[in-house]
Structure formats: C-alpha cells, structure tokens
Structure 1
Amino acid sequence: MPTASGDPTTGTADFSAAPLADAAVPDEWDNGQDAISGQNSTEASGEEQQPTAGEATTNAVPGAPAPVHRPTRGRYRGNSGGYELDLRVDVDSVPGGPKVLRKASGDFFSTGGGTKAYFGSFVVDAPTVSWTATRVVITGVADYTWETAHVVVRITIPRSRINQRPGAATVEFLRPPSQLGATYVCPYVSPYFRTVEWEQDSVTGAVPFLSYDTASLPQPANSPARILTVPRAYAEAGIELLVSGTANVIANSQNGWTNTELHGAMETNFSLWSNAPQWKLWLLVASSYEGMAGVRGIMFDAADAFQRQGCAVFYDLIQGGDPETQRSMLRTYVHELGHSFNLLHSWQKNLAKPPAPLGGNNGFADLSWMNYPQNYQPLNGNGGAAAYWGAFPFQFTDNEQNHLRHGFYRNVIMGANAFGAGAADIEPELFDEPLTDESGLRLDLRADKNAFSFGEPVVVELKLETTDLRGRSTHNHLHPDDELVNVAIRQPSGRTVLYRPLLRRCVDQDQTVRLDASRPAIYSSAYIGYGRDGHYFQQPGTYQLRAAYLASDGSRIVSPVLRLNVRHPVSQTDNQLAELMMGEEQGKILALRGSDSPSLRSGNDALQEIIDQHGTHPFAVYARLAKGLNFEHEYKSLSPDKSELTVRPPDPKSGIEQLTQVVKVSEQGNGVDNLTLNLATRRLARAYARQGDLEEANSTLDRLMRHFDTPAFKPYVVDAVRDQVDTTKARLTAEFGD
C-alpha cells in the first residue's frame, strides 16, 4: 500500500521488496555487445577519473587497452513501500553509442493488489557524478510533477565489468540538508531508456520501408555510415521500438484515405489498441491522402481523450527504390512516429507544454528528423533540401532526445497528454510583433463578420501579401492545419490559447509561391471553432485573435489583432441551437467536413435535427455543408479480420440536395465565406457529374465564375478562380465524360 503521506519519496526503505542480487539481463549483454550502438564496448581500464560537478564522462581513451567496465546507463526498476520506480540513468556511454545527456529521471507508480497506477515523474538535470573503482554516485536536485520536500536524489550503482551482469541501482531521496526518505533498490532492466511496441499494417500494393544504407549518398563527416531501419533510428536515440506481431496487408481502394477512415481503420485493425495510456503505437502504410496534395504522412489520432496512438504514411507519394527516395521514406516514417511520441515540428517546439527552446532561425536551422528538408534554412549559408541532406546526421536534436528519454511520463506515453501539450495555454508574448521586419511580407487575419451568434462556427480568412512588389518567394501553406501558421485566441476570461488542429498532417513537399505585382497575395479560409482542445469559443464576449506565419526564410510574420464578438443568446431557440451545434461530436464533424464514423453518430443526429427543424436558421447552412460534403464522397471501413474493405459509395443526390442550399444562401451573402463557397460549389459540380449530368456540372461552375467575376474582387483573385474552374471542368470531363 502507499505510504501514509501519499509521497513515494518519504518513509523508510523496504529492502524486502526487491532483491540486492543482479537482475536478469538481455542476451545482448552476454558477449559484451552494446545493444544500442551495435559495437563492442571500448571503455578503457586504467585510472579512475573524478569528473567535476555536473560532468558526465566515459573512460574511453584513444588507443586504450580493451574495455573492462560496462557503461553506466539504461533503465532500472524497483519497489518500496507500495510504489514502483522506473529509473533512467543517462550519464555514461561508449563511442558510437547514444549521446550522453547528463540526466537521471524516473516514473513512480502506486501498486496495490493486482493493480498499478501512475503517480508522478521526476528528472535530475546536470547531476554531480563521482566515480570510483567500484561504483558511480549520481547526485542532484530533481524537478517533480508534484510537491515534495525530498528534492535531492542520490543514485549509487556498482561498476560492472564486461563479463559481469549490471548491478542494481540504489536510489535514495533526501530532504535537505541530509534527512533520508525513501530508498529503492532497482535491478537493471534494459540498455534502452524506454520500450515501445510498434504494430505496422499496409494496404494492398504498398511495400513498407525496410532499410537505408547511409553510405549510398554523400553524408556529413560526423555521421558514420550504417544501415538504418526505423527501429534502429530510434535505438540511436535510446528508445527500443519492438516490432509487434505480423505486418498485416489490408484491403485498399483507388481513392485516398480520409481522416475519419484512418481512425476507424486503427480502431478495427490495431490489435494492441486501447483507450488507455500505453507504450504501443500503430502505423498504416496507406495509398494516398484524400483532399490535399503533398501530404506524405499524418498523425491522425489527435481528436479524442487518448491521442497519439496512430499515424499513417502515404505510399503513392513516397514510394521508390532509388537511394534518394529510400532516404526520404526513412525520414517520413521516423518523423510521423515522432509525433506519436509527442514531438512537434522543429519550428513549433516553443508552443508545447512545457515549451522547448527553438533552434536557430526559428527552428528552421534544426538538423532533425522533425524538420522538413525543404524548410531547412541555416542562419548562414544556403538552405533547402540539398543543404539539409548534406548536413543531416540522421538523428534527433538534443532537446528531442531529452524528451524521448526523460520527458515526464504523461507527456510522452501514447494515449496520455494531448499532442504538444497537457493544456493549450500559451504565453501571449509569443505572438508579439517583431522588433524589426524586413521580410517583405504582410499577414492579415479577418472574418466576414465582426459578431457571431453563440454556437455559430467561427471561420477566419488569412491573407499573405508582399510589401515589396519586386517580388518575394515563400511557401503557400497558409492554412493553420498545415502548421506553418499558428492562431492565438485570447478568450473573454483573459486566457490565451492556441488553435490546434485535430490532425497532424505533414505537408512535406516544397510548394513555393512567387508574390509580386501580378499576384501580390494568397488567401486561405479556416474553421477554427473546434480543435484538439475542444470548442475555443465557448462563452459570449469579446475575443482577440492573432496569427503568425513562418516564412520559408525563417521570418515570423505576425498579423494585426482581430477582435470578434460572440453574442449572448437572447431566446430559448438560440440556446437550443447553440446546444445542438456545440457538442464535441458536432465540432469534430465540422472540423472533418463530415464523417460516417459510428463514434460520431449522435453528432450527425444533432446536425440533422437542425436541418429538419430549423432549416431556415443561419446555422443550418453549416450543418448542410458538413452533410453535403460527406455525401459527395465515399466512406471506407475495414472488417475486423482486415480482409474486407467496405465502401459506402458517394450519394450524389443527397449531396446535391444539401450543397445546393449552401451555395444558394451563400451567394446571397447569408451563408459561408467566399472561399468556402468556392469549395462547396466545385463539390456540387462534382456531385452533378457523378450523377451523369455533366452539363449541369459545367453550368454550376459557370455560375461560380460569374459570382467572382465582378469589381468586388481583385483581378488576380478572379484569375485564380478562373484557373480553378477550368481545371475542375477538365477533371470532371476526364473522369465522368463519355
């Protein structure tokens, strides 16, 4: 049972809970083989060294005799007083092994009967490490996830020779100056700091990645040539990725996979899946992503209470057998799995909870698995994909390795804290205007209306334009879901939160746009009312919004503040409609632009009630939009045995019924914004074409062109819409024509 104080660091040691004898060790230690580096240990014998305070060392000396001691590192586990301690020691390594981070950390679990529950975590940064011929003593002040007086941690580990099994770690918790609290004896468990079970499935026709020889292409001098698999890449960071079960092949369809289909496939086919925190994750090698070009992978499991358990890579875009493609494929797999460990993109680390420092040039200078090669931009010198691959050592950065090895338990384990944070709160200063701005770009954030009804979906428009008509080149990823634009929302309560999209789609493709006199601006429309933290506009009052765009050269462009009012409901009908719109499932359906998922059935029922009983209310247009877009395309689901793919075909008749009303009301200025109207009209035309009426499809697109071809719109906007209309007509003719 837990100690009376409810604190695992207090009390008296219970040495009966764990034997002092050495624990069983993995077979890889039996022959002196280093399980992580894959090389024989080369720790030198000879004089013992006394490092200075906080210094982590090894005894490796060039030209030294054969090694005599094992490195002091890895995972240990022991019990005392109703608690289990999972300890990680990271003060020693060998040449070619993982980088030493000079830390010790641990997770506590309360135990009783046949149950175990997570209690809390601690980490000791830069401890004092002292070495003798027989032992290593690690001492430092810990940072805990709870309040405790026993802040000092002392870890004593006997030094083991190569032909011996590693000894147990004795962990003491002390209240300054020297009052001893709890003591744990923790036998050695593994050379890895954490172990994760990884299950991988693929669709028919997709060939999963196997390995890449880093000597196949030029690489930096500090990156030794080796054969890298996905588990090997994580092993170099100190994480054991165990391939679980068999790699199943599941049925596929010709069309791409949607977000809700991926989540449904995970629930059906991930044999280890559970709505609970666990060191288990799933990756699907799918064919393609529906609805957006350039998406190489996605961490789609970010929409419920147990996130980060599933991700996908898209074979149609990343396939190939040449070295360049294999190298990129490795990076895509490691990158998407990194999101499941709660690693953000290199340019987003400061937005996490807790925040991590950004690398150079707002993170674009990071040589990391979590950067995009085309985004790489060092402060000095040329950037881009070629420069990235010429300098990338195939590893995570130090702060990413720190997170993987020593991050607090709930911030790392799959199914616990939401992606990027345990909460959405951010510091408003992160969105302050730069002191100087010579980027030649300007960002604007606006909305069609200054006031929204309570419960009405909040949609904003982003505009990026050049202030230098000689021209500026940058990327065109302007939608917040692409994660190169962030939107901060200051709520009426004074709390500032970050809009965080439901899904982590990685648009890992260079899409450069030239802004100049002929095309001075680009636009994007985004529904930001619902994200991974739920509804962001949950109370009436005044909201202040600000967006930040990270340009290709690392410049951070901040928009002026946009003020929006959410009006108080004034009638019983207003309250009833707000309740119908603001359920969690309704928010997900609106964010996903419709879904057939059985888990969202009640949300679909609520939207249908709005259409049936309040069809003339302004909220009905949003319900019709979600329903219409969903009817217009198919929905795929997999059988539990993974052998059968069920495809609900498109229902163009129902899609036309709903989208016609959306277009009609919006053309009159009482519906969705113009960018969303453009989307809805093109999908309506597609529904007509599916039904065999190509003439009406073209007529629908001509009406869209007439709506935009007026003096109310800039000439370059009209030209962009005309290009979209012409392209859509050509595609519909090719797909549905005679």
Structure 2
Amino acid sequence: MISGLYQGQDGDSRLELRIDVDGARPTGRVSGDLFSVAGATTSYFGSFVVTSPAVRAEGDETRVDGHGTFTFDTPATFGTAATFGTAATEVSVTLTGTTGTATVAGRTYRLAFASPYFRSVLLEQDTVAGAVPFVAYDTGTLPGPTGLTARELSVIGAFREAGVDLTTAPPGVIPVEGSEADLAWDDAELHHAMTQQFSLLSDAPAWRVWLLVASKHVAGYRGIMFDYNDAHQRQGSAVFYDAIRGDTPQAQRAQLRTYVHELGHAFNLLHSWQKNLGTPPQPLGPGGGFGDLSWMNYVQNYQPGGEPAYWAAFPFQFTDVELVHLRHGFYRDVAMGANAFGTGAAEVAPFEQPVEDHSGLRLELRAKDGFGFGEPVVVELKLSTAPSAGGEPRTTHGHLHPDTEFTQVCITQPSGRTVLYRPMMRHCVDTSRDIRLDSGNPAMYRSAYIGHGRDGHYFQQPGEYQVRAQYVAADGSRIVSPACLVRVRYPVGGDDHRVAELMLGEEQGRLFSLLGSDSPALRAGNAALDELIDRYAGHPLTVYARMVKGLNAEREFKALTADKRLRIRPPDPKQGIEQLTEVSRDASIDNITLNMVMRRLARAEARQGDLDRANAVMDRMVATFEAKGVNPIVMGQIRRQADLTKAALSAEA
C-alpha cells in the first residue's frame, strides 16, 4: 500500500503530498500543499489536486502521474509525477510545466513517508464542571445497516477512519465559582469563552480546533460552531451536555454524532442540504441533501423515513464527497482559521422561485419603509399556508430564523452583487418540533437581524437592496419568498454621519448579533455604543444602543478566567430597567423585537423585587399591541405569552 502523507523539500520550496489510491475508501486522488521557506519562517504558497491519476507498476517501483489543478494562476496546467520504491518510504515527485509559476515549475522533491493519515489536527477540549464528555460508542450495540463492521468508535476514531489524525491536547475541567449558578450559555458568553480561553486560538491558519463541553444553551441547542466573523474562522465548537446526556446506547450514539457533526463544521463541511451554497457549489445528494447518510445531515430530517430510517442505514462515516474535501480540499478551504465557512467568496446567485411548487407553503419577507444609514436592518419572516393549498393544513418544522440555517437570506446590494447572509454562529438543531399551520394557527413569524454576520456589515451604503429568503421545509421543499425592498436612507446632517460611523464598526455589528457582551475583545464596540447614548441621546438610532446595553445588563454573564475557572457576573436589573424602559417606548422597533424587549424588561423588574411592576409591563405589552391593531389570532398568542411570563416570574420570585 502506498497511500498516505509524504513530506519533503527542494531548496526553498516544501511539499506535503497526499497519495490516496489504495487502502481504506480510496478516493483515487493525489493532492499537495506547497510552502515557501525563507530563513526560519515558512509560508503557505498554494495547493493542487490530481483527480484522475494514472497508477502503474514499473518493475520494483510504482508510478503515479497526472495533470493537477492548482490554486494559483498558471498559464498552463502542471503535470505531476510520483515514483515510489518498493518500501514506499521515499518518493520522488516532479512538478513540471512548459510555462507557469517558476517557483514550482521543474521542481523535483525527495519525500519521506510521514503518516498513514492525510492530515493531522490538534483538538483542545475543555469541559465545564458537571458535564461529562463523551468517550466512545459500540456501533454494534443497536441495529444498523446490514454488513456494518461493529467497532468501538470514538470521535478521534471517526475522523481517523476519514483519514484525519485527530490528536488531543491534555483535556481541561473548568470549575464553577459560586453555587446555584445558572449554567445555561448564550451566544455572547460562548463567543467570549473562545476568544479569551482557547489557548491555541490564532490569527493565522492552523490545524487546531477547540471544543467546549458545556452544560446547556439558553435555546436548547445540542451544538454550535463558533464562527467568529473575522479573517480567521472555524476554530471552535461547543456541545451541550444537558441536551445529549445519557448512558443508554441511543444517547451514546447521538452524542458521538453531535461531536463529529460540530467538529465537521470546523473543517468547513456544510450541512447536507446546504452544499449548493458553497463556493464552488456542490451538487445536493438525494432528497435535496436530506437523503445523505452523513455525519453532517440531521437525523430527524433524513429522507425518506426520518430518524429510524437514518440509523437503520447510517454506516458511521462521511459521504464520498465529504471524504474528498477532508483529505484533498485545498489547504485554505480546510485548515482552521483560513477561508471563511462554506466559501472562498460570499457571492451567490439570487434565489429563484421553483418551476413547480406543490408544498402548500408561502414565505414572505417584510421590512419597514426605510432604514437610517447605520441602522440595524431587521426583517420579519412569515411562513403560512399558500392559497394553492385550498385551506388544507400543512405541517413542517418551526426553524424559520436564519440562524438555524433551515432558512437562508440573500441580499442584492445596490452595486448588483448578491451575497448570502451568514450568521455569526451556527446553531445546530438536532430536534424539530412540528408546527401545524391551519385556520387556528395560519402563520408563524420570526424577526431576524440580518445587518451583520460572518462577512461583516451587509448594508454599508445608502441605496436600495433586494432581499429574498429560502426556507427548507421538513420534506425538503424549498420555499422562496418574493423580493423584499430594503431602503437605506442617505444621512442628512453631521449627527447622522457621526452616528452612522459609531453604528457601523465591526465590533458594534458583533454586539448587535450577540445582543450585547462583556467580552474585552469587544471593548471598543461597547465604548462606541456608550458614546451614542451619552452624546446622541435624542438620535433615533440610539435606541439600538440602549437595547444592546440593556439586554446585556439584564442578564448574567459567564466568563472564563485565565486559569480556566468560570465566573458569573450577576444581572444588573437597575441598568437593564433604565435602558429597556426607553426602548419599550420607541415606536420604531419592530413588533417581534419589542415583544422580546418588554418580556426582558418585566424580568428585570421582577429581579429588582417588584413583581407588580413586572406584571404591569406585561399588561402594557398587551395594550401596546392591541393599539397597533395586531390581528386577533396573533393577539391571542401575545396574551397567552404575557400570562405565561407572569406565571414564570411569579414562580421564580
């Protein structure tokens, strides 16, 4: 067998070569990464892949050659040739080309065998006290596909079977300071945890990743990939023990899938039904991707048959296409901290209406008439039964918000360029509560802040934008909304210009995405919002700064210390009440956001010890929406929500 990783150097050029023509699940490819060596430093130069190499025996040697595709511009395609001795411990590789980049043309590398694995990644895993990290699952414990080889499979084992040597740094346990702490994490706390405590966090591409085993997420998710929106993404993930805990075989099996799934995102693997959104786009598998037997699919959405059918057929491995990516994807497309998730560039084609649509569902986007320059752009999504359904009810999942990525939003900017809104963090929802849309519940609504994401600010200039959304239903149907016009007004005076500058900073965008944060990494953003409140208190856009500061003050905030202990900053209800009271009186806030703000304001009043004032806030919320003329069905939902909030706050008090 000759497959594996080979390394060597020719002068100032170093080559890491991956031969994948025999052994376990060979993909029939040869690929390599090239690095330039200058003194004591090494820099990435480029990558190549040979998709159909010729393999032939020549006496005691094996020769592999073919034409490679390179990442860097070349006037001609290079040829590659590798010759293996009988021991396969030393390889001669020649990169040739009649024209092309002189740095690599005509090079001959003497390579030594380095590993049977194609890539090696260091995993640092920390566990919050009270959570129990997953160890291994015996794949033969529960019924599975016919012919499946039963084995004790760990997370490391799953990646090694894919050809990736996942090695571990010494694990850490994070103690919790104080008793009776609320260990439910929100996105801001998780973002802060990685930026402050991942000891290997880097501002450069590297083969290393962090996994936090936390207790639970405030929204009940099983896992999340930190996708910090700078130039160096995909360096960390978290799994939530309370959502996946258990010693039963079913629970252990689900834990294995969750761990591998979240770490798969760090390798730049998309969900199975989203591969067409990558750059370059990949063809979707059966069932619009829901038919993939992959770690990256959602068990409950598997088509056909859902969770029972998935586990009955799943071989505990990545698909062939995913395997090619893990082993032979270009360096910057796979290495953590390199290219952004899913793309080398964010540009996409606008979503188009399907040629035929018998789903019986209708998706709509709504936005207010105009946004100030720098104002956070929020849209309302509405999913309802379509007129073509003839009044028949429809059942689907309730994940309408784009942060869970069953819904995607594309934005056509004034320049004509169309980009995909990509949330700052990827929430993985392994369970889907069915939603029935009928005469008693004709629609569901979500409010989404789409002004900022992993690519930065999406509405950075005045003008007209066309926004479309696509919802992937439970059966795989893709429901596309009509275009929604979003107008961003030109600033009028000096205050408008200065306020826009304070709103459009990168850290401010992250604070809006996270609804506030204590993280020192966002100190400049918080200072800008404080300046807005102090100097421009009467400006219409200052309400958003008040909202972010008020929501962050009203909640507790978890922070990991330098010695990896968990400290919890208690809520500041007084500050929360001061800011959120002002926000609750502002008519420019959209209804769904206003609903959330008033419920959080009521919680702050209750935590301040005034349950009567908390109940009064809920009564005022009901009266506010009645005065707005909200339709009777939605009004009934708001009243029930107010009653439930009162009961919960009373019980907490």
* Global fold match (TM > 0.5): yes
> What are the equivalent positions in structure 2 for 1:144-543 lying under 5 Å apart?
144-149=70-75, 151-158=77-84, 160=86, 164=87, 166-175=88-97, 181-251=106-176, 253-290=181-218, 292-293=219-220, 295-378=221-304, 383-428=305-350, 431-447=351-367, 449-467=368-386, 468=389, 469-543=391-465
TM-score (norm 2): 0.96
Of the three residues 60, 81, 87, the one matched with 2:11 is 81
Aligned counterpart for 1:563 among listed residues 480, 485, 490: 485
- Report the secondary structure of 2:106's partner residue: strand
Tell me by how many angstroms 1:301 deviates: 3.6
2:26 is the counterpart of 1:110: no
Whether the 8 Å CA contact 1:440–1:466 is kept in 2: the answer is yes
Distance 1:517-1:386 versus aligned 2 partners, 3 A rule: same
The residue type equivalent to 2:429 in the other structure is V
Residue 66 of structure 2 is matched in structure 1 by 140
Report the alpha carbon displacement of residue 618 of structure 1 after superposing the two structures with TM.
1.1
Deviation at 1:730, TM superposition (A): 1.6
For structure 1, the 5+ residue unaligned runs are: 1-70
User: CA separation in 1, counterparts of 2:549 and 2:325?
Assistant: 41
Matched, 1:676 2:593: yes
SS at match of 1:453: coil
User: Cα RMSD (Å) of the superposition?
Assistant: 1.7
The superposition leaves residues 210-239 of structure 1 with CA deviations (integer Å, 9 ceiling, x where unpaired) of 000011100001421111000000011100
Distance 2:345 2:228 in 1: 13
C-alpha distance in 1 between matches for 2:626 and 2:598: 15
- CA distance in structure 2 between the partners assigned to 1:246 and 1:646 by the alignment: 20
Q: How does 1:701-712 map to 2 (within 5 A)?
A: 701-709=618-626, 712=629
Aligned residue number for residue 43 of structure 1: none
1:50 corresponding residue in structure 2 = none
1:448-501 CA deviation, whole Å, 9 max, x = no partner? x22211111110000000122221110010001010000000001111100000
CA distance in structure 2 between the partners assigned to 1:206 and 1:711 by the alignment: 46
The share of aligned pairs that are identical, in percent, is 55
Letter in 2 for 1:458: V
3-state SS of paired residue (1:419): coil
The answer to whether the Cα contact below 8 Å between 1:137 and 1:154 also exists between their aligned partners in 2 is: no
| Structure 2 CA distance for aligned equivalents of residues 289 and 595 of structure 1 | 16
In structure 1, give the amino acid aligned to 2:30.
Answer: A
Note the C-alpha offset of 1:427.
2.2
- Give the Cα–Cα distance (whole angstroms) in 2 for the partners of residues 731 and 629 of structure 1: 19
CA contact (8 A) 2:517 2:552 kept: yes
Deviation at 1:304, TM superposition (A): 2.6
Amino acid at match of 1:107: D
Determine if the alignment matches structure 1 residue 693 to structure 2 residue 610: yes
Q: Evaluate the alpha carbon distance shift between residue 530 and residue 392 of structure 1 in structure 2; reply closer, same or farther with a 3 A threshold.
A: same
Find the aligned partners of 1:695 and 1:719 in 2 and give their Cα distance: 22
Say which one has the larger Rg: 1
Match for 2:591: what amino acid?
N
> Which amino acid in the other structure matches residue 580 of structure 2?
L
Alpha-carbon distance in structure 2 between the residues aligned to 1:115 and 1:168:
25
Provide the rounded CA distance (Å) in 2 between the counterparts of 1:459 and 1:439: 27
Displacement of 1:432 in angstroms is 0.9
For the residue of structure 1 that corresponds to 2:250, the secondary structure is helix
Contact 1:150 1:181 in 2 (8 A): no
How far off is 1:255 after superposition? 3.1
Q: Is the 8 A contact 2:123 2:208 kept in 1?
A: yes
Alignment match, 2:546:
624
Gaps of 5+ in 2: none
Contact 1:79 1:85 in 2 (8 A): yes
Q: Which amino acid in the other structure matches residue 135 of structure 1?
A: E
Q: How does 1:586-625 map to 2 (within 5 A)?
A: 586-625=508-547
Q: Provide the rounded CA distance (Å) in 2 between the counterparts of 1:734 and 1:239.
A: 50
Give 1:176 shift.
Answer: 5.7
CA displacement, residues 249-295 of structure 1 (integer Å, 9 cap, x when unaligned): 443742311223223323443332322211111101001112x13x0
CA–CA distance in structure 2, aligned partners of residues 711 and 690 of structure 1: 29
> One-letter code of the match for 2:21?
V
TM-score, structure 1 as length reference: 0.85
- Cα distance in 2 between the residues matched to 1:594 and 1:553: 36
Q: Within 2, Cα distance between the matches of 1:676 and 1:612?
A: 23
Q: What is the rounded CA distance, in whole Å, between the counterparts of 1:194 and 1:221 in structure 2?
A: 30
- d(CA) in 2 for partners of 1:275, 1:282: 14
Distance 1:418 1:364 in 2: 24
